[in-house]
Amino acid sequence: MGQKTVEIIGAEDYKIKLFVYETDSASVRGSVLLLHGMAEHYERYLDFIRVLNEAGFDAYIYNHRGHGKDLDPKDWGFFAKKEGARLVVTDAVEAMKYVYGNKRSKKCALFGHSMGSLIGRNVIQQFDQMDCALFCGTGFQPDSMCRGGIFMGNLVSTFCGPRHKSPFLNKLMFETKVYLRDCKRTKSDWLTKDEKIVDAYRADPACGFICSASFYRDLVTITGNAKWGMEKTRHDLPILIASGEDDPVGDFGVGIRALFEKYDELGFTNVSMKLYPGDRHELLNETDKETVYKDFIDFFGKHMEA
């Protein structure tokens, strides 16, 4: 699995290192852009990328602003002083446009996990020429939670500065009873039942870091916009929403069902939902990941066959 690096320009001339993994298959079935989650990096997706390549798909991935091992740690968890939500979504739109314009086959898709799924749900409101989109570990938070989170993020950012690392906001969002329900060993156990994955995540300094006050504000803004702008998306775009039934981000399946029902209410015609019993947040790192991989490959194959 060879890697190529392409530099593309995101919002406000931000330079994005887009990593390209091309399949060795004689026939390329399609191209997939992957968007990773918060407080992690693209290297955690290499196993799934290998599976995509083996199945005949080219894969593209990059680190979001404020993420990545090659970044100065002081910049981890920081998008921008202002309008970070808009900038990071625009970056993803530009990356998707690059994939669409440079794909080696006729088909392309968008994949997003967790924060990447929320960014992706914003992307498809602005650019919907991909053939399908798959969002896993996503959420559908109440309006009151979104507006309250934006208010608190703005408050802390105003008084402490946008770059202020905020354990308070992190605890407010990710250390509630909901997130700690299944955490018996560590506060990161909600990610997956696979203890080796959890331990590797906690041992990686480029994962699990405390983010800036402005980041938490931007994250909730992205979350709210993913919900409030749903109707802007092309209504016949094939979308798969996948989540673990024990994922607190999806409110243990309740939020996922609500999201699916909202798509149906808005008149979307090609949205499907898959809940995995006993699985937590990181489906690609769960103990039944081989089943998850197969399901995701089948979805891409169904909607990207020539």
The one-letter code for the residue type at 92 is: A
User: Beta strands 239-244 and 132-136: pairing type?
Assistant: parallel
pLDDT in tens, 160-214: 999 999 999 988 888 888 899 989 999 999 999 999 999 999 999 999 999 999 9
Non-local CB neighbours of 103 within 8 Å, separated by 6+ positions: 28, 30, 31, 58
DSSP 56-112: TEEEEE-PPTT-STTS-GGGTT---SS-HHHHHHHHHHHHHHHHHHH-SSS-EEEEE
Q: How confident is the model at residue 146 (pLDDT cuts 50, 70, 90)?
A: confident
Q: Is the pLDDT assigned to residue 306 strictly greater than 60?
A: no
- Taking residue 217's Cβ as centre, other Cβ atoms within 10 Å add up to 26
Q: Is the pLDDT assigned to residue 1 strictly greater than 80?
A: no
**Residue 188 pLDDT:** 95
Q: CATH topology for 4-304?
A: Rossmann fold (3.40.50)
The number of angstroms, rounded, from the C-alpha of 54 to the middle of its chain's C-alpha atoms is 22
Q: How confident is the model at residue 154 (pLDDT cuts 50, 70, 90)?
A: confident
**Residue 218 pLDDT:** 95
pLDDT in tens, 60-89: 999 999 999 999 999 999 999 999 999 999
